[in-house]
Structure 1
Amino acid sequence: MSETLAFTGPISRWQGEKATYHMLTIGGEVAEEISMHERLRRLEFGGRRGFGSVKVMARIGETEWKTSVFPSKTGEWWLLVGKKVLKAEDLAAGDDASLTLDLI
């Protein structure tokens, strides 16, 4: 089962104890689609993945990578965006990024 979703939003920066992270917060209809995919997967396989995550193939610009999105308590989903992606696509915190997700 694979579904392709598109989302555009700002890249945010979060300072953790040991590192700085960049992420996209995915909301709205796209977040609802990811949540439904996660529920169906849980019913099919009888359990959740770590932290309730969903495996995805993400693409920003010409850069594509396999990763996971993680649920928030508010119903949104978080996608971590690595330094290699930021550099390859010339992005920084505050920039809007157009994201394509293939749910795996």
Structure 2
Amino acid sequence: MIIEFDGDVFRWDARDDAAWFFTSVPPELSEEIREIPRPYRGFGSVRVRAQIGGTEWTTSIFPSSDSGSYVLPLKKAVRDAEGLADGGPVTVRLEVLDG
């Protein structure tokens, strides 16, 4: 399954010394991903191949307890390479590898 969507970059402060950046998979696409039969993985994660601009990497998306949508972590190397900033727009292509 391959999906594409537009989202916003947001910051989540897990602790005072660490900040994590994510974008949310839209609810309707999250529901489609949730319906794919697959073995359970830790924290309900789903393995994906993500692409933003010219940067592609393998990672996992995780269910968000706040929204019920999946969230995609955006590591610093990706943010730097693609000029992503907190609150800014992002266009994502995801290939779901589980299922």
TM > 0.5 between the two?
Answer: yes
Determine if the alignment matches structure 1 residue 32 to structure 2 residue 31: yes
CA distance in 2, matches of 1:71, 1:95: 21
Show CA shifts across 1:76-104 (max 9, x none): 01110001000000111111100000000
Scaled by the length of structure 1, the TM-score of the pair is: 0.86
Give me the CA root mean square deviation: 1.0
CA distance in 2, matches of 1:93, 1:57: 22
Q: Percent identity?
A: 40
Question: What is the deviation of 1:14?
Answer: 1.1
Opposite residue 13 of structure 2, the aligned amino acid is Q
Mapped contact 1:7–1:99 kept (Cα < 8 A): yes
TM superposition outliers: structure 1 runs of 4+ over 3 Å: none
Opposite residue 27 of structure 2, the aligned amino acid is G
Show CA shifts across 1:12-65 (max 9, x none): 01111141110001122211111112xx113xxxxx100010000000111000
Which position in structure 1 is the counterpart of 2:45?
53
Out of 73, 79, 84, the position equivalent to 1:80 is 73
Out of 4, 16, 29, the position equivalent to 1:6 is 4
CA distance in 1, matches of 2:43, 2:14: 18
Scaled by the length of structure 2, the TM-score of the pair is: 0.90
Opposite residue 41 of structure 1, the aligned amino acid is R
| Higher radius of gyration, 1 or 2 | 1
For these two proteins, the number of residue pairs brought into alignment is 95
* Structure 1: gaps (5+ residues): 43-47
